């Protein structure tokens, strides 16, 4: 065989080996890709199985129940306010002057008509003396006018008799008319003098009153809450009366003024009992009773409230005016009532989503929330009209219609319904 033939045979053999090696490498690549795809599918299947397992575990729900029972139901209303004295008196002064002495201090017990302070009486005494002198002068003018009246009357009488004796010839009619006019002027002067006496008497009385008012007395028996005057201070009673003292008539009996919300005022009545607490005595609970409820409304930041006044016994004087108190008013009490928790009335069983004939992987991975049933929406709309509770029968919730009564916010009275004490009522869903 020639060298050229041998070379061609070698080339052919090399090409066959290359083709065999290329075929083997392509098979290995396909096998490698197949392994990658199978691994990815395994991961996806495992993820789907995990999501299905979690979803199935979530869908396995249980129910927590609470039993109905009998007990006493107390319905209360909360309100906040401040303590005030039963009768708080502001003592002022009606005259202007300089304070000479102040004879009481804070927390002093005072009696009715006790002297609290004195103004400098100098100018008031001088006014009294001046008014008394004016009265004496007016009375003297009355005596003078009276004498003039008597003189004029006598003159008219003489002229009248003389005319009668002279048979109308003397004196003349003009003289008689003048005498009559003089008498009338004398009578008018006497009336004016008497009016001046009355005016002088009133001025003297006013001056004496001002002198008396320069001494400030207590109008009630009580205690001094505030004192806003010092000796040497000048007080001016021009447009309004300056307040010098604030007295509380009786701190053993006080009032609690609270603001009741408009949503609760319809249940509040006079005579209802209440309790309240103050920050000064956090461990004590004080008793009170509603005395009156004001009809006038108060609006603060758009909130309407009505003021209620509660009588408070403060015999030990532990409470002080102005303290902030939180009151709890008992508006209704029901003895031996069948009570159910409010959570049982609010409970509604979960709505099961309808199974879809075809579900994709995406829908399983990202499920949409179930659509609310129209019947369920209607039931929620009529929740206030048709109350119901739920019990378990055969592991499934069953509705029991009930008629409810009073509630304290946690428990509600059942007036009518197929519920007995000890009946387990569903209050919530428990996910396993």
| pLDDT digit string, tens, across residues 165-210 | 887 777 888 888 899 999 999 999 999 999 999 999 999 999 999 9
Residue with tokens 């009715």: 112
Sign of the four-CA dihedral 13, 15, 21, 27:
negative
The pTM of the full predicted model, rounded to 2 decimals, is: 0.62
Kindly state the tokens that stand for 122.
Answer: 């100098």
d(CA 9, CA 3) in angstroms, rounded, equals 10
pLDDT digits (tens, 9 = 90+) for 366-397: 455 555 454 444 444 444 446 899 999 888 89
Model pLDDT, residue 37: 56
What's the pLDDT score for residue 76?
94
pLDDT at residue 386 in the model: 60
Average of per-residue pLDDT values in the chain: 83
The three-state secondary structure class of 168 is coil
**What does the block give as tokens for 156?**
């008219």
Write the DSSP symbol of residue 182: H
| Residue 33, both tokens | 């890709």
77-85+253-336: in CATH 2.40.30.170? yes
Q: Which 3 state secondary structure label does DSSP give 42?
A: helix
Distance between CA atoms of 138 and 205, rounded to whole angstroms?
15
Q: Which CATH class is domain 62-69+339-431?
A: mainly beta
Map residue 340 onto helix, strand or coil: strand
Tokens of 39: 């691994």
**Residue 276 CA: distances (Å) to CA of 34, 88, 197, 284, 287:** 80, 22, 63, 9, 7
Q: State how far the alpha carbon of 426 is from the alpha carbons of 154, 401, 430, in Å.
A: 117, 14, 10
The first and second tokens of residue 281, run together, are 């005595």
Residue 14's H or E segment, with its range, is helix 3-59
Summarised one tens digit per residue, pLDDT across range 251-275 is 999 999 999 999 999 999 999 999 9
CA nearest 236: which of 61, 97, 29?
97
Q: Are 63 and 430 in contact (CB under 8 A)?
A: yes
User: What tokens were used for 182?
Assistant: 């003089």
Task: Rounding to the nearest 10 degrees, give the CA dihedral for residues 38, 43, 46, 50.
Answer: -160
Q: Is the peptide bond before 171 cis (omega within 30 degrees of 0)?
A: yes
Both tokens of 378, joined, read 């209607």
Whole-number percent of the chain with pLDDT over 90: 64
Q: What is the pLDDT of residues 94-137, one digit of tens each?
A: 999 999 999 999 999 999 999 999 999 999 999 999 999 999 99
DSSP structure class, residue 351: P
- Cα–Cα distance list, 261 to 125, 265, 328 (Å): 57, 6, 13
Separation CA 262–CA 50 (nearest Å): 55
pLDDT per residue as tens digits for the range 198-244: 999 999 999 999 999 999 999 999 999 999 999 999 998 877 788 99
Beta bridge partners of 276: 286, 327
CATH architecture of 89-118+218-249: Beta Barrel (2.40)
């Amino acid at each position: 065989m020639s060298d050229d033939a041998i070379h061609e045979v070698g080339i052919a053999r090399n090409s066959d080996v290359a083709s065999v090696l290329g075929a083997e490498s392509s098979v290995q690549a396909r096998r490698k890709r197949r392994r990658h795809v199978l691994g990815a599918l395994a991961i996806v299947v495992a993820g789907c199985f995990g999501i299905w397992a979690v979803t199935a575990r979530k869908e396995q729900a249980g129910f927590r129940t609470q039993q109905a029972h009998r007990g006493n139901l107390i319905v209360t209303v909360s309100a906040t306010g401040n303590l005030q004295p039963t009768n708080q008196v502001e003592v002022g002064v009606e005259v202007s002057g300089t304070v000479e002495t102040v004879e009481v201090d804070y927390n002093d017990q005072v009696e009715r008509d006790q002297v609290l302070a004195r103004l400098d009486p100098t100018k008031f005494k001088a006014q009294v003396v001046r008014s008394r002198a004016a009265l004496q002068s007016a009375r003297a003018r009355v005596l003078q006018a009276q004498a003039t009246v008597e003189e004029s009357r006598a003159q008219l009488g003489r002229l009248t008799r003389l005319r009668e004796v002279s048979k109308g010839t003397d004196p003349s009619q003009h003289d008689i008319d003048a005498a009559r006019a003089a008498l009338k002027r004398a009578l008018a002067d006497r009336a004016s003098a008497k009016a001046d006496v009355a005016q002088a008497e009133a001025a003297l009385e006013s001056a004496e009153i001002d002198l008396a008012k320069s001494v400030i007395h207590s109008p009630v028996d009580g205690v001094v809450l505030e004192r806003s005057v010092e000796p040497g201070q000048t007080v001016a009673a021009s447009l309004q009366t300056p307040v010098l003292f604030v007295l509380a008539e009786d701190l053993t009996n006080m009032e609690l003024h609270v603001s009741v919300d408009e949503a609760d005022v319809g249940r509040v009545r006079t005579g209802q009992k209440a309790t309240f607490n103050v920050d000064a005595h956090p461990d004590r609970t004080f008793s009170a009773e509603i005395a009156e409820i004001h009809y006038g409304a108060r609006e603060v930041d758009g909130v309407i409230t009505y003021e209620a006044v509660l009588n408070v016994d403060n015999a030990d004087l532990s409470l002080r005016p102005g303290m902030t108190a939180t009151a709890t008013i008992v508006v209704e009490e029901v003895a031996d009532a069948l009570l159910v928790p409010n959570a049982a009335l609010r409970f509604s069983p979960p709505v099961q989503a309808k199974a879809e004939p075809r579900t994709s992987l995406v829908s399983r991975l990202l499920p949409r929330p179930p659509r609310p049933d129209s019947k369920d929406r209607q039931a929620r709309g009529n929740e206030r009209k048709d109350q119901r509770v739920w019990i378990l029968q055969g592991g499934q919730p069953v509705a029991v219609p009930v008629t409810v009564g009073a509630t304290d916010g946690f428990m509600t009275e059942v007036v009518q319904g197929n519920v007995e004490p000890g009946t387990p009522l569903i209050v919530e869903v428990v996910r396993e």
